[in-house]
Amino acid sequence: MSGPPPVRSDAPGKLFVAGEYAVMEPGHPAILIAVDRQVSVTVSTPDGADVVIDSDLNPAETRLERRGGDLVVAGADTGQKSEGLGHVLSAIGVVGELLAERGSRMPAVHLSIRSRLHRDGTKFGLGSSGAVTVAVVTAVASYCGVELSPEQRYRLAMLATARHDAGSSGGDLAASVWGGWLAYHAPDRAVVLDMAGRRGVGEMLRSPWPGFSVRRLEPPRGLALEVGWTGQPASTFSLAQRLGSGRWRGSAAQRGFLARSDECVRAAIGALDRGDDRELLEHIRGARRVLAELDDEVRLGIFTPRLTALCDAADAVGGAAKPSGAGGGDCGIALLDATAKREISQLRKEWVAAGVLPMPIHVQPTKGSPE
């Protein structure tokens, strides 16, 4: 079967530097970096199905067909939906809606997904779902002849993500789209979903989004980034759900947490803007304290023994460290003097002794200033 030539898109993963958890509330700031590990999606013409997906995270190829507006497993009598591919299918769906609004129809597509954000199926906590969503939106749109600006790619990916998980901040999507160091404020996802539902995807791409902003930050001038993986995968979704349940949401305790996080993140952004590495380290330590206070108050389990050891080891050699993202496992980050080679070596040894794997990860260069 003939069709357009294959199209490939790569999207990097992310790490949070500061502001995780608070950034889930619209308009609250976070600092993120894109990492030099990515998800690659290649779109080509399939053979005998509406959608074919093969991914190195799934043991077998998935073949899907359209039934009543849904994509279901091909040949399944009960209209069985595919498990574990929600972000991918949602990303395909939003591109399909945009095409329909423009008078076109989504062609049959074969998606080949390859990720460097896991090892033997175990995720590192580098935002693989967000990277997959951005790469699928970009590759499928390009395959269908639709070229998107960076902000349009982010917006379509945010809509796809919000439909799958309305609590996700979308910070991972911004990092995957723009790269580098970013200051990010999440949009109000309820408004985004309502806008797309009532006014269409095209209008959603053009309209202002309450709470949303993103801008590029200059990286630290003389600090090295060290990343450690605990070997314990964590579910951001389940941790965030626990935080959003019960009496904490809307409470005085939540307002206090948001105020402390915002103050710390804004101060860290100011330090980056001024190129003051020493001040930045102080604010990274402050961000660790903000998370620790949240953990003590809500008992989320953000700080595992390995993440605590990761942070303590960095403190011992003059650096600053904290969990990156939801915690509960996954990765932690440390920043320390880039010229302190002996201290960096000592840090890595201490991490290994504590069961933390030093990761050869660097910042993915910026892809241009956000629009």
Stretch 259-266: mean pLDDT: 98
List the one residue out of 101, 92, 173, 185 whose CA is nearest residue 139.
Answer: 92
Contact 62, 52 (CB under 8 A): yes
Q: What percent of the chain has pLDDT over 70?
A: 94
Same domain, 251 and 139: no
Residues with Cβ within 8 Å of residue 330, at least 6 apart in sequence = 123, 124, 125, 229, 230, 232, 233, 234, 323, 324
Pair (227, 309) in one structural domain: yes
Tell me, yes or no, whether 241 and 331 share the same domain.
Answer: yes
321: in domain:
yes
Q: How confident is the model at residue 76 (pLDDT cuts 50, 70, 90)?
A: low
Same domain, 200 and 292: no
Q: Is the pLDDT of residue 74 over 80?
A: no
Average pLDDT over residues 172-183: 97
Considering the domain architecture, whether residues 150 and 298 belong to the same structural domain is answered as no
pLDDT in tens, 267-283: 999 999 999 999 999 99
pLDDT value at 80 more than 60: no
319 phi/psi in degrees, rounded to 5:
-95, -170
Q: Which of 16, 17, 19 minimizes the C-alpha distance to 260? A: 19
Q: Are residues 45 and 14 in the same domain?
A: yes
Give yes or no: residues 128 and 200 share one domain: yes
pLDDT at res. 68: 74
More confident residue, 324 or 75: 324
Which of 199, 217, 235 terminates a domain? The answer is 217
Planar angle of CA 264, 268, 273, nearest 5 degrees: 150
Q: Give the residue among 229, 217, 170 at the shortest CA–CA distance from 25.
A: 170
Query: What does the pLDDT read at residue 363?
Result: 94
Residues 40 and 154 in one domain: yes
Domain of residue 293, CATH code: 3.30.70.890
**Domain boundary residue, one of 187, 217, 247:** 217
Cα(183)–Cα(309) distance, integer angstroms: 28
Residue 269 domain-assigned (yes or no): yes
Q: Are 182 and 31 in contact (CB under 8 A)?
A: yes
Note whether residue 367 is domain-resident: no
Radius of gyration in angstroms for the set of CA atoms belonging to the chain, rounded to a whole number: 21
* Number of domains into which the chain is organized: 2
pLDDT at 294 over 50: yes
- What's phi and psi for 297, nearest 5 deg? -80, -40
**pLDDT at site 181:** 97
- Whichever domain contains 127, its CATH number is 3.30.230.10
Last residue of a domain, one of 159, 188, 217: 217
Question: Span 12-38, mean pLDDT?
Answer: 96
CB 141 within 8 A of CB 148: yes
Mean pLDDT of the chain: 91
User: Are residues 211 and 229 both part of a single domain?
Assistant: no
Give the pLDDT of residue 84. Answer: 65
- pLDDT band at residue 78 under the 50/70/90 scheme: very low
The confidence score (pLDDT) of residue 367 equals 65
User: Is 170 domain-assigned?
Assistant: yes
Give the pLDDT confidence score for residue 247 in this predicted structure.
79
The answer to whether residue 77 scores a pLDDT higher than 50 is no
Q: What pLDDT sits at residue 82?
A: 53
Average of pLDDT values for 310-328?
Answer: 95
Give the structural domain span for 283.
Answer: 223-359
How far, rounded to the nearest angstrom, does the alpha carbon of residue 32 sit from its chain's CA centroid? 9
Q: What is the 3-state secondary structure (H, E, C) of the chain?
A: CCCCCCEEEEEEEEEEEECCCHHHCCCCEEEEEEEEEEEEEEEECCCCCCEEEEECCCCCCEEEEEECCEEEECCCCCCCCCCCCHHHHHHHHHHHHHHHHCCCCCCCEEEEEEECCEECCEECCCCHHHHHHHHHHHHHHHHCCCCCCHHHHHHHHHHHHHHHCCCCCCHHHHHHHHCCEEEEECCCHHHHHHHHHHHCHHHHHHCCCCCCEEEEECCCCCEEEEEEECCCCCCHHHHHHHHHCCCCCCCHHHHHHHHHHHHHHHHHHHHHHHCCHHHHHHHHHHHHHHHHHHHHHHCCCCCCHHHHHHHHHHHHCCCEEEECCCCCCCEEEEEEECCCHHHHHHHHHHHHHCCCEEECCCECCCCCCCC
Residue 197 has pLDDT above 80, yes or no: yes
- Give bridge partners of residue 15 from the DSSP assignment: 33
Identify the residue with better confidence: 123 or 214: 214
The answer, yes or no, to whether residue 295 has pLDDT greater than 60, is yes
Is residue 234 domain-shared with residue 160, that is, in the same domain? Answer: no
Q: Is 162 domain-assigned?
A: yes
